Amino acid sequence: MHNNQFKKGELYSFITGKASTAIARRLQKKLNQAELNITIEQWSVLYHLWKKHGLSQQELCNATFRDKPSITRLVDNLEKQNLVKRVPSENDRRINLIYLTKQGQKLEEQTMRLADQTLTEALKTVPASKIEMCKEVLQIVYNNLT
Amino acid sequence: MHNNQFKKGELYSFITGKASTAIARRLQKKLNQAELNITIEQWSVLYHLWKKHGLSQQELCNATFRDKPSITRLVDNLEKQNLVKRVPSENDRRINLIYLTKQGQKLEEQTMRLADQTLTEALKTVPASKIEMCKEVLQIVYNNLT
DNA sequence: TTTGATTAGTTGTATAAACAACTATATGCA
DNA sequence: TGCATATAGTTGTTTATACAACTAATCAAA
């Protein structure tokens, strides 16, 4: 099959991200059912803060592939819900360091379990070797475009 | 490698759809540079109308995996830009059939070329066999979740 | 040291998505 | 026929994204 010929047929689902949209919706549904009252976008910010406390907003931009206004507003909403706190950096007064509150820390275990469940459901029946290859392709795509 | 162990590590990019987000952004940039003045979401609706004229809004919902309010507003905006027209169905007065205007029809060739370019750039250096396998995995994921 | 450029973050505006509640029309069955 | 139910589409609200324009702080080079 010619590469180009192939691509045309697959164009739509690659561009619209059918699969990742479905994964995100499933996780959102689980978060709602557990009455955790956070969005997947908020979860994706918390995810990085659980791994490393006290990231700056700019670091969150890089980690989550969002622009600065998006992070400003996500942090606004997370702060309103008392899940994180902005702390001005002492070294550089332009920078806000974002810290989890106790409430924000508490969400880690449960939401990570839900995320893990979501992926288990999504990748059910897919052999590990194929997942690995798929992951590689998606990483190459990302690298090609950034 | 244990399947479960694998998944935890990949959790983030699977859920956030890094790759498809990057593809969509690249296409949006091309549309902007060509001053076509449409969003990728609008493009995704037009895409289905180019394939088949006179779809109902509900059919557009199914085709684009969006809910009804989303399609209502996308069609609103496409109509404002004179790219499509709502035509009440004669058989069933609940239904709007959506038709392309001449202006909407004209966009097909150029935007499909840009979409094709985008995928060529995204999949550059990825062998066709791997793309095929990746496509299969993404389809299974989608089926698993819907 | 001063000034011009860079970096971090915010605000305004437009578009879009998800959910709930709503209207209007059609269908099906008693 | 008539009423309950299902279907198609709209509207309201909240959250998120992208882009542009903005402020404040820092850096760097003359």
Model confidence at B10, pLDDT cuts 50, 70, 90, reads low
Please indicate, yes or no, if residue B78 is contained in any of the structural domains: yes
By C-alpha distance, the chain B residue nearest A17 is B20
Please indicate, yes or no, if residue A137 is contained in any of the structural domains: no
CATH (domain of B62): 1.10.10.10
Please indicate, yes or no, if residue B136 is contained in any of the structural domains: no
Residue B25 (CA) to nucleotide D18 (C1'), in angstroms, measures: 10
Task: Please tell me whether residues B44 and B98 are part of one structural domain.
Answer: yes
Task: Please tell me whether residues B10 and B66 are part of one structural domain.
Answer: no
Single-letter code of the amino acid located at B103: Q
Task: Please tell me whether residues A23 and A60 are part of one structural domain.
Answer: no
Task: Please tell me whether residues A26 and A58 are part of one structural domain.
Answer: no
User: How many structural domains compose chain A?
Assistant: 2
Q: Do B7 and A116 touch (CB under 8 A)?
A: yes
Please indicate, yes or no, if residue B144 is contained in any of the structural domains: no
Encode pLDDT of B11-51 as tens digits: 788 888 999 999 999 999 999 999 999 999 999 999 999 99
Please indicate, yes or no, if residue B30 is contained in any of the structural domains: yes
Task: Please tell me whether residues A30 and A42 are part of one structural domain.
Answer: no
Q: What is the dihedral of CA B15, B9, A43, A60, to 10 degrees?
A: -100
- The reported pLDDT for the residue numbered B11 is 74
Q: Provide mean pLDDT across the span B95-124.
A: 95
Q: Please list the ranges in chain A whose pLDDT falls under 70.
A: 1-10
Task: Please tell me whether residues A78 and A48 are part of one structural domain.
Answer: yes
Task: Please tell me whether residues B42 and B105 are part of one structural domain.
Answer: yes
B51 has a chain A CB within 8 A of its CB: no
Please indicate, yes or no, if residue B125 is contained in any of the structural domains: no
Does the pLDDT value for residue B54 go beyond 60? yes
- The reported pLDDT for the residue numbered B21 is 94
A10 has a chain B CB within 8 A of its CB: yes
Please indicate, yes or no, if residue A128 is contained in any of the structural domains: no
Task: Please tell me whether residues B52 and B90 are part of one structural domain.
Answer: yes
Q: Provide mean pLDDT across the span B59-71.
A: 97
DSSP for A36-101, written as a single string: ----HHHHHHHHHHHHSSSEEHHHHHHHHT--HHHHHHHHHHHHHTTSEEEEE-SS-TTPEEEEE-
- The reported pLDDT for the residue numbered A44 is 96
- The reported pLDDT for the residue numbered A62 is 95
- CA separation for the pair A145, B22 (Å, rounded): 6
Does the pLDDT value for residue B88 go beyond 60? yes
Classify residue B90 as exposed, middle or buried by CB count within 10 Å of its CB (0-12, 13-18, 19+).
Answer: exposed
Please indicate, yes or no, if residue B28 is contained in any of the structural domains: yes
Task: Please tell me whether residues B60 and B93 are part of one structural domain.
Answer: yes
Q: Provide mean pLDDT across the span B136-144.
A: 92
- The reported pLDDT for the residue numbered B2 is 44
By C-alpha distance, the chain A residue nearest B8 is A116
- The reported pLDDT for the residue numbered B48 is 97
Helix (H, G, I), strand (E, B) or coil at B101: coil
Task: Please tell me whether residues B94 and B56 are part of one structural domain.
Answer: yes
Residue B58 (CA) to nucleotide D17 (C1'), in angstroms, measures: 25
A135 touches strand C (CB under 7 A): no
Does the pLDDT value for residue B1 go beyond 80? no
- The reported pLDDT for the residue numbered A1 is 42
Task: Please tell me whether residues B43 and B92 are part of one structural domain.
Answer: yes
- The reported pLDDT for the residue numbered A16 is 87
Write out the residue range of the structural domain in which residue B12 sits: 1-35
B18: its two tokens: 């890094």
Task: Please tell me whether residues B31 and B57 are part of one structural domain.
Answer: no
